[in-house]
Amino acid sequence: MEDLAYKNKSMAEYWIKMIRESRDDFRTYVTDPAIFSELKKLPKGSTVLDAGCGEGYISRFLVNEGYSVTGIDLSEEFIQSAQKARAKDEVYMVSDILKADFEPNHFDAIVLNHVMMELKNPEKAIERFGKWLKPGGKLIFLIVHPFNDKTSEMTRENKYTENYFEVQKRAEKFLIKGLETPEKLVWYHHPLKTYTESLYKNNFLIESLQEPSFIDSTPQNHKLREILKDPWFLLFVAKKEKI
Where do the DSSP E strands lie in the chain? 47-51, 68-73, 91-94, 107-113, 133-144, 168-172, 175-176, 179-180, 185-189, 204-210, 233-240
Q: What is the model's pLDDT at position 163?
A: 86
pLDDT at 161: 65
CA gap 139, 151 in Å, rounded: 27
Beta bridge partners of 91: 70
Per-residue pLDDT of the chain in tens (243 residues, 90 and over written 9): 444 545 678 999 999 999 999 999 999 999 999 999 999 999 999 999 999 999 999 999 999 999 999 999 999 999 999 999 999 999 999 999 999 999 999 999 999 999 999 999 999 999 999 999 999 999 999 999 998 866 555 554 555 567 889 999 988 888 888 899 999 888 899 999 999 999 999 999 999 999 999 999 999 999 999 989 889 999 999 999 986
Q: How far is CA 152 from CA 58, 227, 228, in A?
A: 21, 11, 13
CB 97 within 8 A of CB 128: yes
**Structural domains of the chain in order of their starting residue, each with its CATH number:** 5-240 (3.40.50.150)
Residue 129's SS3 state is helix
Residue 1: per-residue pLDDT? 46
Q: Which amino acid is at 165?
A: F
Specify the amino acid at residue 37: S
pLDDT of residue 2: 47
Residue 26: is it exposed, middle or buried by C-beta count within 10 angstroms (0-12/13-18/19+)? buried
**For residue 172, what pLDDT is reported?**
85
